[in-house]
Amino acid sequence: MQLDSLETFYFSGQSLCAPADDEFQMWLNRIPNHSGPTCIALHFAIDIPDQSFPRTLPITPLILPEAQGGISPITYTLTPILPDGLVYDSSTRTISGAPTMVTSTPIPYAFKAIDSTGETDSLVFSIEVFSPVASEQLELPESFMVHGNYPNPFLKSTHLVIDLPWSATLNVEVFDVMGRRVLSQPPVDLTAGWGRSIRLEGAALPSGLYLYRIRANSLVGIQRQAGRFLRVR
């Protein structure tokens, strides 16, 4: 019997689905009787616009888009940490609250969907908090802090997100789990402010877990912060 003369097609099993291929789906839909968990690849159908919120005022809750396709259940993450006063509810994909701090520049965020097989898709957008009073001066962070990196895990590059209470020259070094230095980036000069970002190029690194150390050299001295990331291929 030729495949193009099938009248019944049945398949089952956990995580088993028809390929996400347009030609295959057209062929499958021509079969009078077919059953089984067909699927399409996990993806977002729409983007998230960049957001701008006034300081101290409650925002209209922002519901982030639901991913299409994939194998349920699908979970959602948002990184890095939101500005003070804003909260993210992963169960409803909603950002809400009233921001309490002004951001000196828009902060980039990664919104990621992960299905039960580990497939992922993500969207990138930014959030900016501005002062509703034009004459209000920007408030600076009280301490040097690293909010981690996004995306994490990553394939080729990732961004380290940093709060700086003063302008500084930053050096980033990466170490493997044995403590050997495997990457050292050229120094980067950043001005004081919230959500400063350093792009870290890791395409040459083998897959695995790595530790990074950031050294900030400023007029007040040298301070260090550390973290870790996962490189995948």
> Which residues are bridge partners to 225 per DSSP?
214
pLDDT band at 16 (very low <50, low <70, confident <90, very high): very low
- Let me know if domain 140-233 sits in CATH 2.60.40.2550: yes
Within the chain, which residue ranges are assigned CATH 2.60.40.10? Answer: 43-139
Q: Indicate if the pLDDT at residue 230 is higher than 80.
A: yes
* Residues 185-212 pLDDT 10s: 999 999 888 888 898 998 889 999 999 9
What mean pLDDT do residues 221-232 have? 91
Which of the pair, 123 or 16, is modelled with greater confidence?
123
Residues of the chain with CATH 2.60.40.2550: 140-233
Residue 27 has pLDDT above 80, yes or no: no
Dihedral (Cα; 76, 77, 82, 88), 10-degree rounding: 30
Name the residue with higher pLDDT: 27 or 103.
Answer: 103
- The pLDDT-based confidence of 55 (bands split at 50, 70, 90) is confident
pLDDT averaged over the chain? 84
Rounded Cα distance, 212 and 215, in Å: 10
Q: pLDDT value at position 23?
A: 65
In angstroms, the CA 137 to CA 102 distance is 9
Specify the higher pLDDT residue, 139 or 52.
52
- pLDDT for position 194: 81
Task: State how far Cα 43 lies from the chain centre.
Answer: 14
Residue 176: pLDDT above 50? Answer: yes
pLDDT score at 15: 44
Render pLDDT for 122-146 as a digit per residue (tens, 0 to 9).
Answer: 999 999 998 765 444 457 888 898 9
Tokens describing residue 182? 């495997």
Q: How far is CA 231 from CA 79, 200, 215, in A?
A: 17, 11, 22
Q: Which CATH class is domain 43-139?
A: mainly beta
Segment 67-115, tens digit of pLDDT: 998 888 999 999 999 998 899 999 999 999 989 888 878 999 999 999 9
Spatial CA neighbour of 177 closest among 200, 206, 198, 151:
206
CB 64 within 8 A of CB 94: yes
Tell me how many degrees the CA angle 81-143-135 measures, rounded to the nearest 5.
85
CA distances from 75 to 120, 212, 231 (A): 10, 27, 21
pLDDT value for 33: 63
Residue 70: what pLDDT? 83
- Burial of 163: CB neighbours in 10 Å, binned 0-12, 13-18, 19+: buried
